[in-house]
A and B are shown apart, each in its own frame.
Chain A
Amino acid sequence: MDTKKEFMEGVRGGIPIALGYLPVSFTFGLIAVSGGLPVWVACLISLTNLTSAGQFAGTSLIFAGAGYMEIAMTTLVINLRYMLMSLSLSQKLDKTVTLLDRMIFGFVVTDETFVVGSLREGKLRRPFLFGLILLPILGWNAGTILGACVSSVLPMALQNAFGIALYGMFIALIVPTARDSRNVLIIIIMAVTMNCVLTYLPMFAWISSGFRIIISTVFGAGLGAVLFPKDYSDEEMEVQ
């Protein structure tokens, strides 16, 4: 297959991703600037992090005056899912994809690029990978710049409404899987229940929001791993 065609296929895969990022990164710019960060710092965060949940959480921890260790730990747990996605994608990369290619593409492994990449048939080659990440990078940063710049002129009701954008995206990411898998649904409910307990019971008020997320996630996913360990034997047969 020729390089240009493959590149364009990647670009086409990135269009819906970039569109989905716009309202969310717009919200990020809005929140970051209205919380007191300069516009350029909001853009710097999007440019260097390129992750939804991780940078929202990290930024709110910065606002809360959290320590470096807490910021690092929270970022680690929230983004731990990328490790699995990268692991899975690394099995799908073509032999011609160099170390430098991997270091560039790795920067843009997100929930959405992972889904598009892993659903594509056959090995992933360089032109497709670079085509795929192009528009999501643009969309994420363009949305942030817009949100950061208009944050002060947007009417209050509209600013409030954008606050839900990130959660709308999260809900869209987890509900379809929870619908198909009872185990995943139970895990989500357990993790959220733990999070509510830690949030609302006064005796846990000393636990900061970052550690609340860490504890609840490890609790839910850990209990899930013990109660519903997946059987990977079929997959290993395939690899052999």
Chain B
Amino acid sequence: MQMDRVLISIAIMALVTYAIRVAPLTLFRKQIKSKYVRSFLDYTPFAVLGVMTFPDVFTSTGSVYSAIAGTIVALILAYMRKGIVTCSCAAIAVVYLVESFLL
């Protein structure tokens, strides 16, 4: 891995992320008028987090089975409106238990 390529990539990530966050707070503070654009922006977080999660979550651990078990537990806890700490830690615990004792 070339270090200069890595560092340039990180700088790009940081700049893009910062610009997205700060521009609306500083430059254009007006409301967006188009209901289609606003709906698109409203829906983007859910679409992108869903896409980031599925199907990649199933290959995120040592085996598909532990990943499925962890995902199901996280889904149930999230449905019950437990917070991110609970969902994340419970999923980790279930994956660890399944991989240590069942597989």
Contacts and interface: CB of A to CB of B under 8 A. Distances in A.
Contact of A164 (B31, B37, B39, B67): B67
How big is chain B's contact interface, by range? 35 or more
Contacts, number: 303
Most buried by B among A78, A164, A177, A236: A164
B73 to A, nearest CB: 9
Contact of A165 (B63, B81, B88): B88
B53 A171 contact: yes
B40 A221 contact: yes
Interface of B: 1, 3, 5-14, 16-18, 20-26, 29, 31-32, 35-57, 60-63, 66-67, 70-71, 74-75, 77-79, 81-93, 95-96, 99-100
Contacts of B81: 176
A20 interface: yes
Given A84-B44, A168-B87, A221-B44, A76 B16 contact: yes
A102 interface: yes
Interface in A53-98: 53-58, 61-62, 68, 71-72, 75-84, 86-87, 89-91, 93
B56 A228 contact: no
Contact of A75 (B16, B35, B42): B16
Contacts of A41: 3, 6-7, 10
Interface residues of A, number: 100
A226 B48 contact: no
A207 interface: no
B24 A107 contact: no
Given A75-B16, A84-B44, A216 B21 contact: no
A149 B29 CA distance: 42
